[in-house]
Structure 1
Amino acid sequence: MFGTAIRSMAKKPKPKMKPIELKTPPEQTQTITRVIFDVVKEHGPLTIAETWDRVKEVGLRGLTSKRHMKIVLRWMRERQKLRQICNHVGPHKQFLYTTWFTKPNIKQAKPVNDSSTPKPP
């Protein structure tokens, strides 16, 4: 017990990440965040890939790439405009973005190996 306490005290803490500073003009940032917020609010908890597909459907010109969208999502999380929830199914994790005001009605992903269904020979 004493050795565990010593080992945990000896570890360096994780360094703090500096806040994200977006390089786009404020008007463009506001447009991008409003569109992303509306997409997430309308279509419920979404993964990053699903969010990217929905934003592409809208046809937002200010967003240059999926990487840019991920940076904006992290920026929105820092400012508590969106929140990230984790969906656990066995060993699999799925991170979903949602607004603060919606109830998380998470669709449970189906397990890969289901023992209740008979396997074909």
Structure 2
Amino acid sequence: MLKQFLPLSTLLFTSMAFAQNNPLSVHVLNLENGLPSANVEVVLEKSSGNHWVKLNQQFTGANGRITALFPENQQLEQGIYKVTFKTGDWFKKHHQNTFFPEVPVIFKVDGSVSHYHIPLLLSPYGYSTYRGN
């Protein structure tokens, strides 16, 4: 009977190990109530010349986090990246107006650290972000 659960436990362990080794994570908190913002769509892009190349797209979990936003089979290279939080869609789902339909956060990967974390503190008419750890 225990054999039935081995594949699931192996999958969970593998997913957790990947999240710990992933070079990019994000976290969204609602400043109005201090709670995590679940189901916020987040798009990751990399600058390539005069345009952006989409690398990944995910939704925040129940804890407002995406622990492994960077694509699994790629290596994080130095360059300019953009994480876009689709805040307008999130506020619309919660029957609220917002001034910012999306929040683009453009940042530079210089290779000085192995993990980049981008938190977003969100309210309908303002936001704040910083380089987390």
- Verify same fold: TM over 0.5: no
Q: More helix per residue: 1 or 2?
A: 1
- State which structure, 1 or 2, has the greater radius of gyration over its C-alpha atoms: 1
What TM-score does the superposition give when structure 1 sets the normalisation length? 0.29
TM-score relative to the length of structure 2: 0.27
Q: Which has the higher strand share?
A: 2
